Amino acid sequence: MSDNGLVTSQINKVMKALHPGLSIDTKQHDIFIPYYVANDVNDLFICLTTRQLLSACKYSFVLTIDCTYKITTNELPLLVFGTSNCNHRFYPMGICLISTDQSADTFRTLFRGIQQSAVNNQAYTISHVVADGSPGLTSAMSEISLARRLMYWFHMIRKCREHRKLIKNKNKWLLVEKDIFNAQLIFDDQILAIVTRFIMGIIGTVLIYERAVSLAPSTNNELESLNGRIKKDYTLRNRRPLSAFLKTAERMLIDWSTDSEKKPFQLHATYKNHLKLAAYTWLQQVDETQILQVNPNVYVVLSKNENMSTTIWVQQFYAVAWSSYDEFSNWLNSARLVNCSRLLPPLFCTCQTSLKESTCVHALGLLMLWGSQSMPQLIGKRKGKGRPKKVKLPLSKD
Ligand SMILES: [Zn+2]
């Protein structure tokens, strides 16, 4: 087959050679094609996966998508989709060789395909799509009307930087950038809308926040590093002819598939020892009178940057009436909102650590306070030399 241009018959030939009959296989790690569109090189969509890889959709409704380029001589982008567990381990669900990542049709095909490919006889509902700022994806979101679109933080800030020329003064821009980073901690849609207005006034762009998926990782770091590994481990950073690339892709998918069986998707994170100790220390220092319960599972605690009481903090939270970004930022950093409806991480708190690590000193500290989590075993003082002062009585005879 030609590697510089493809016609339907050529693509079908490849498909037949790879997977005679395109039938749904029965083996966990066998590669199959749940769906494909192959009209010509400009209208191409071939999805490759295994049953094991697709099974990750059972555990998470957050779909992460990213494209990687310069891997085939035809310049066909490779779309990788999957999801992450709460320990930030990425589980690829499949790859798609596509003709372009600029068209909405590409993403429509993807959404339709993965929702309809009832390979494991299970419905897949997508609640959030985490991806870059591709306009094609934005219009394709109508295909999954119930899902929300998230842009990952790095892409958001990059988008904002595209508009930086609107601010002539460099130092002023740096301040704006700091404000945008601060907004990463926003946890509520209504608040986001207000803050977006503050920032929109300056740079005029769309702000989308990581926080929207409260208990599942919604950053794309894991997938981006996987894309790095595709290049490093499989295509050796060279564009490969399509036929050779498909062979490599097959090997790569089998590796991922067996790997995902060996390290199953975890629904709970584990508490790390250093966090237990930090939570214990936090608990020793916290002013318990300032722990405020706002509903059966939700509490407000002061943060390190406290400059108002938790009562005032909650009043401002309900009033949503900040007159400037600074006023808002001051409020946002003053206290943390903690949801204690779970005993095991991921636990939700509005602080930076919780955002990155799925749990934090606030959530774990509160659980320790109530005895729902044990305190860490502290290393006590060493005993002095010699016998203990109180010598136990010897056993008496019966
Ligand atoms: Zn926290």
Q: How many residues does the chain have?
A: 398
Distance in Å, CA 221 to ligand 1 centroid: 21
Percent of the chain with pLDDT strictly greater than 70: 71
Closest CA to 267 of 127, 124, 91, 85: 85
Convert 62-94 to b/e letters by CB count within 10 Å (16 or more is b). Answer: bbbbbbbeebbbbebbbbbbbbbbbbeebbbbb
| pLDDT for the residue 181 | 67
pLDDT in tens, 348-382: 888 888 777 778 899 999 999 988 888 887 655 45
Convert 126-164 to b/e letters by CB count within 10 Å (16 or more is b). Answer: bebbbbbbbeebeebbebbeebbbbbbbebbeebbeeee
Distance in Å, CA 347 to ligand 1 centroid: 9
Mean pLDDT of the region 189-205: 61
pLDDT in tens, 221-280: 777 777 778 877 887 677 888 888 888 889 999 999 999 999 988 877 778 888 899 999
Distance in Å, CA 351 to ligand 1 centroid: 4
* Cα–Cα distance list, 216 to 25, 64, 94, 334 (Å): 31, 12, 20, 24
Q: Inform me whether the pLDDT recorded for 164 exceeds 60.
A: yes
For residues 64 and 381, what is the distance between their CA atoms, to the nearest angstrom?
50
* Structural domain spans, the chain: 8-151+216-262, 273-369
Distance in Å, CA 78 to ligand 1 centroid: 37
Answer whether 201's CB lies under 8 Å from 221's CB: no
For residues 307 and 20, what is the distance between their CA atoms, to the nearest angstrom?
68
Distance in Å, CA 223 to ligand 1 centroid: 25
Distance in Å, CA 129 to ligand 1 centroid: 25
Who has greater pLDDT, 200 or 180? 180
Distance in Å, CA 236 to ligand 1 centroid: 41
Cis peptide before 92 (omega within 30 of 0): no
Distance in Å, CA 338 to ligand 1 centroid: 7
For residues 79 and 136, what is the distance between their CA atoms, to the nearest angstrom?
14
Please, what is the end-to-end C-alpha distance for the chain in angstroms?
95
Q: What angle do CA 233, 356, 323 make, to 5 degrees?
A: 135
Distance in Å, CA 280 to ligand 1 centroid: 13
Distance in Å, CA 124 to ligand 1 centroid: 31
Q: Inform me whether the pLDDT recorded for 147 exceeds 80.
A: no
For residues 35 and 48, what is the distance between their CA atoms, to the nearest angstrom?
8
Distance in Å, CA 174 to ligand 1 centroid: 26
Distance in Å, CA 395 to ligand 1 centroid: 52
Mean pLDDT rounded to a whole number for the chain: 77
Distance in Å, CA 218 to ligand 1 centroid: 17
Distance in Å, CA 94 to ligand 1 centroid: 34
Distance in Å, CA 266 to ligand 1 centroid: 22
For residues 150 and 210, what is the distance between their CA atoms, to the nearest angstrom?
7
Distance in Å, CA 126 to ligand 1 centroid: 27
Distance in Å, CA 82 to ligand 1 centroid: 27
Distance in Å, CA 360 to ligand 1 centroid: 5
Supply the DSSP symbol for 74: T
Answer whether 107's CB lies under 8 Å from 147's CB: no
Distance in Å, CA 364 to ligand 1 centroid: 8
Supply the DSSP symbol for 292: E
Distance in Å, CA 365 to ligand 1 centroid: 9
Residue position matching structure tokens 């460099």: 170
Distance in Å, CA 355 to ligand 1 centroid: 8
Distance in Å, CA 14 to ligand 1 centroid: 52
| pLDDT for the residue 212 | 43
For residues 350 and 186, what is the distance between their CA atoms, to the nearest angstrom?
7
Distance in Å, CA 307 to ligand 1 centroid: 17
Distance in Å, CA 64 to ligand 1 centroid: 25
Would the pTM of this model clear 0.95, i.e. be above it? no
Of 280-289, 323-332, 354-363, give the range with the top mean pLDDT: 280-289
Distance in Å, CA 282 to ligand 1 centroid: 11
| pLDDT for the residue 310 | 94
